[in-house]
Amino acid sequence: MDIRQQSAEQAIALLSGIKERSPFYAKKYADVDLTGIKSIEDFQTLPFTEKDDLRDAYPLGLSAVDSSRIVRIHSSSGTTGTPVIIPYTAKDVQDWSIMFARCYEMAGITCDDRIQITPGYGLWTAGIGFQLGAELLGAMAIPMGPGNTDKQLQLMMDLEATVLGATSSYALLLAEEIAKRGIGDKIKLRKGVIGSERWGEKMRARIANELGVELHDIYGLTEIYGPGIGINCEAQSAMHCWDDYLYFEIIDPQTGKVLPDGESGELVITTLQKEGAPLIRYRTHDLTRIVAGDCPCGSPYTRIETLIGRSDDMIKVKGINIFPAHIEEALATVPGASSEYQVMIDHVFGKDIMTIFFETALSDDERPAVEESLNKAIQQKLSLSIVPKAVNLGDLPRSEKKSKRIFDNRY
C-alpha cells in the first residue's frame, strides 16, 4: 500500500468515534451515518468543513478533548468578522514541531544553522511554528518577529544567521534593503524558508539573487496546525506534504467533485492525528494540484504544486477567470518590469477596466514600450485588454504580512 492509500485508510478510520469526541462533528454530521463510510468513494461523499463552520464554533466549540488537555490556542487572522480559534493539545504542539523540523531537514537545514525568524509571534501560528521546528531540529533560533529593519539586519550580520524565515514580501523588503545599504558581503544567509504566500517566479529570482540564498516554499494554515505541513525539496519546486499526519484531496471548487491526481483544483485536508481540533475535509481554498509519480529526491511523501492562487482570489473580468498567478506569469515575460504589481478593477461607463500598476527602473521615455509589452502579454494569456501603468521602484506598498495586490472596486 502506498503512502496516500494508507493516509486515506487512516482518514476513514478516524471517523469512528468522532461524533463522541467532537461536539462540533456530532452536530455537523448529525444526519450522516458515519458507520456506512467504508471506502474512499464513500469518504468523498462526506460534507466539507468550511471556514464559516469554524467561525460559528467561536470561541472553543471546535475542541474535541476535555479543556484540561488544551495547552494552547491559535487564531487565524480574522480579516472579516469573527476569528477562528484552534485549540491544541500537547501532542498537537509536538506533532506540529515534528512536521516543521522535517521541513527544515527536507530543505537541507541542520542543527548547525542559525535561523532568523521574521514572521510574527502571538495568536498567529507563523513565528512560533518556525521556532518550534528550529528548536526540535537543534538549530539556533533567532526569534525576531517582523519589523525594525535596522535591528533585523544588525543581528543578521552579528549572529551570522544562515537561514531566513519570512513571508515573500518581507524577504523582498530585506533583500532590497541589503542591496541599498551595500552590506551583501556581510550577510551569511544560505537558505530562505518562505511561508504561506503564493508568489511569482520573478519575485523568487530577485529574492534568491539579492540575498544569495536557495529558497524553499513552506506550506501551512492555522486551521491545520500552521506553517510546516509541507515544503519543497532540493530536487524541484513542488512541495512534499506529510501524509502520515494529513490526508489530501483536490476538488473542483465549483462542483466539489474530487479530481484525479495532476488536475488543478482546491486543496482539501483531513487531519489524521489532531486531538484538539480534528478537521474532516477542510476546504483550504488554496489552488494547486497533486504531482503524480516519484520525486527525484526519493522522498515518498505526496507532492503538491506551488500554490497558483486562492479560489476566492479568483476574479472575473469580462467573463474571464483571472488568478494573481496569471498576472505574475505575464509580468515575468516582460523585460524591464519588476515583480511588484497592483491591480485595480473599476466599472466605468458600463465597462470593466483593469489597470495593472507595476514597478520599473526604466526612465519615463522608455516606459510606454514596456507598458505595451505587458498589455500584449496579458492579451496573449487571457485575451483581455488592460491599462498598464509603470511606476517607480518602491512606489507600491510592501507589507510584513501578506500583500493585497488585487483591488476590485466594482461593487
Instruction: Give me the residues that bind Zn ion (CB under 5 A), please.
Output: 233, 235, 295, 297, 299
Length of the chain: 411
If the CB atoms of residues 239 and 370 are measured against Zn ion, the closer one turns out to be 239
**Residue 297: CB minimum distance to Zn ion, A:** 3
* C-alpha span between 294 and 288 (Å, rounded): 18
Residue 354's SS3 state is: strand
With b for 16 or more beta-carbon neighbours within 10 A and e for fewer, the 66-87 pattern comes to eeebbeebbbbeeeeeebbbbb
If the CB atoms of residues 297 and 332 are measured against Zn ion, the closer one turns out to be 297
**Residue 292: CB minimum distance to Zn ion, A:** 13
If the CB atoms of residues 205 and 235 are measured against Zn ion, the closer one turns out to be 235
Q: How far apart are the first and last CA of the chain?
A: 51
If the CB atoms of residues 239 and 377 are measured against Zn ion, the closer one turns out to be 239
- CA 286 from chain centre, in angstroms, equals 8
**Residue 301: CB minimum distance to Zn ion, A:** 8
**Residue 245: CB minimum distance to Zn ion, A:** 18
**Residue 33: CB minimum distance to Zn ion, A:** 40
If the CB atoms of residues 182 and 293 are measured against Zn ion, the closer one turns out to be 293
**Residue 192: CB minimum distance to Zn ion, A:** 18
If the CB atoms of residues 204 and 281 are measured against Zn ion, the closer one turns out to be 204
Residue 366's SS3 state is: helix
Complete DSSP assignment for 107-170? TT--TT-EEEE-SPPSSSSHHHHHHHHHHHHTPEEEE--S--HHHHHHHHHHTT--EEEEEHHH
> Which residues neighbour 40 within 8 Å (Cβ) at sequence distance 6 or greater?
8, 12
Contact 142, 114 (CB under 8 A): yes
